[in-house]
Structure 1
């Protein structure tokens, strides 16, 4: 599989992140459609998983999937690094949150486009170098974009700086795949800070992706 595809998959899980205003767990249902002759829809779903659980506290977050390739991601705000667990690596592979392989060309905001989990959501459309990203959000679930001002990876701050809210739905459309993520449950709860720390003695390496 091409290095660029690994990078896109890697960026993808970083897009499901939230800011200080919400603390708790969010569950997303994911679907994929492949645009690559050598990779089927089922293979994308197997690698990435069809369910992702997100745990957010302050400026830190952690995601876990039921995928066979990308297993989890931990963002530590004070380091501005994303630590990723892949099934083929014993070490956690990290990316600098300030480095973004993508860029936003233009954006458009549309009011009251969908309803999800009882919330009427606005739509933010980001036309990017990599393709099209759409986010659906409500001001009733605010997020503090200032916590993520240095999180350029995955165009995350580009979204938060305009929405200041948690996305309840997102789509990614690029040359390799189309992905749709829909929040199916939001559980506000107090989380232990230890959840957002690196395991003792774990090996970390700079990601090649």
Structure 2
């Protein structure tokens, strides 16, 4: 009788490990500081969006923004494409998420850097040729990093490879802009697979 019990234990352990990955919705508040002459902080914020509703499940994510530049963006790990829509335009644009022109020069981890949503977060500080990005994360919000290993766009694969967690706060600073995106709410939800499917009804165009 020991073998069936052992098999049952292994199956249950596998289910528990899978359940540890975060699935649900995170609301981020975004603030922007412009370093471009003639471009005000308020104009930049209106263009980029002050709030993002972000949904993630497995190797898929999808987010909705309230800015004038992009209304929706999503990622499909099967095609390694990022898709996005502009407000009031019924066209789905896509880019190859495996292309990144930025290069990591150095990085460091800072323990207990900040408390966000009541969770103590470590910080991964990444220095690239373009500037500095800081990811604040808690092990409470784990992701399967292997599913995003080809997602080099925006340094996403590098970040997840080092932390295995969803960021609760991201700070981006370069010579043109300073961005802070902070989670104000994180909800565990069971999301249907078809929520992340690319609509076959929309024209599909590769972004230049």
Say whether the fold is shared (TM-score over 0.5).
yes
Moved more, 136-145 or 150-159: 136-145
**1:205 paired residue number:** 205
Once residues 176 and 91 of structure 2 are traced to their aligned partners in structure 1, the CA distance between those partners, rounded to angstroms, is 27
Q: Any conservation in 2 of the 1:69–1:88 contact (CA below 8 Å)?
A: no
* Alignment partner, residue 14 of structure 2: none
Question: TM-score, normalised to structure 2's length?
Answer: 0.87
Across the aligned residues of Structure 1 and Structure 2, the Cα RMSD in angstroms comes to 1.3
Equivalent residues of 2:123, 2:134 under 8 A apart: yes
Deviates more, 1:81-90 or 1:180-189: 81-90
The runs of at least 4 consecutive aligned structure 1 residues that moved more than 4 Å come to none
Q: 1:28–1:184: 8 Å Cα contact kept in structure 2?
A: yes
The whole-number CA distance in structure 1 between the counterparts of 2:79 and 2:198 is 11
Q: Which has the higher contact order (CA 8 A, sep 6+)?
A: 1
In structure 2, how many angstroms separate the alpha carbons of the residues matched to 1:37 and 1:48? 17
Once residues 180 and 139 of structure 1 are traced to their aligned partners in structure 2, the CA distance between those partners, rounded to angstroms, is 21
Distance (Å, rounded) in 2 between the aligned partners of 1:107 and 1:88: 40
Q: Which residue of 1 aligns with 2:96?
A: 96
Q: Is the 8 A contact 2:58 2:143 kept in 1?
A: no
Residue 158 (structure 2) aligns with:
158
Residue aligning to 1:66: 66
Structure 1 position 39, deviation (Å): 1.3
Task: Output aligned runs, 1:180-199, within 5 Å.
Answer: 180-199=180-199
Residue segments in structure 1 that go unaligned for 5+ positions in a row:
1-19
Q: Which residue of 1 aligns with 2:85?
A: 85
Q: Deviations over 1:83-132 (max 9, x none)?
A: 01123754221111111121211101111111011111101000011110
The answer for unaligned runs of 5 or more in structure 2 is 1-19
TM-score calculated relative to the size of structure 1: 0.87
CA contact (8 A) 1:100 1:154 kept: yes
> What is the number of residues matched between the two proteins?
189
Q: Which protein has the larger Cα radius of gyration, Structure 1 or Structure 2?
A: 2
- My pick for the range that moved more, 87-96 or 106-115, is 87-96
User: SS where residue 22 of structure 2 aligns?
Assistant: coil
What CA distance in whole angstroms lies between the structure 1 residues aligned with 2:89 and 2:130?
27
The 2-side partners of 1:108 and 1:72 are apart by 32
Q: Deviations over 1:131-154 (max 9, x none)?
A: 100011112221221111111011
Counterpart position of 2:27: 27
Partners in 2 of 1:74 and 1:115 — Cα distance?
28
C-alpha distance in 2 between matches for 1:42 and 1:115 = 27
Aligned pairs for 1:169-184 within 5 A: 169-184=169-184
Is 2:41 the counterpart of 1:41? yes
| CA distance in 2: counterparts of 1:88 and 1:138, whole angstroms | 36
Where 2:37 maps in the other structure, the secondary structure is coil
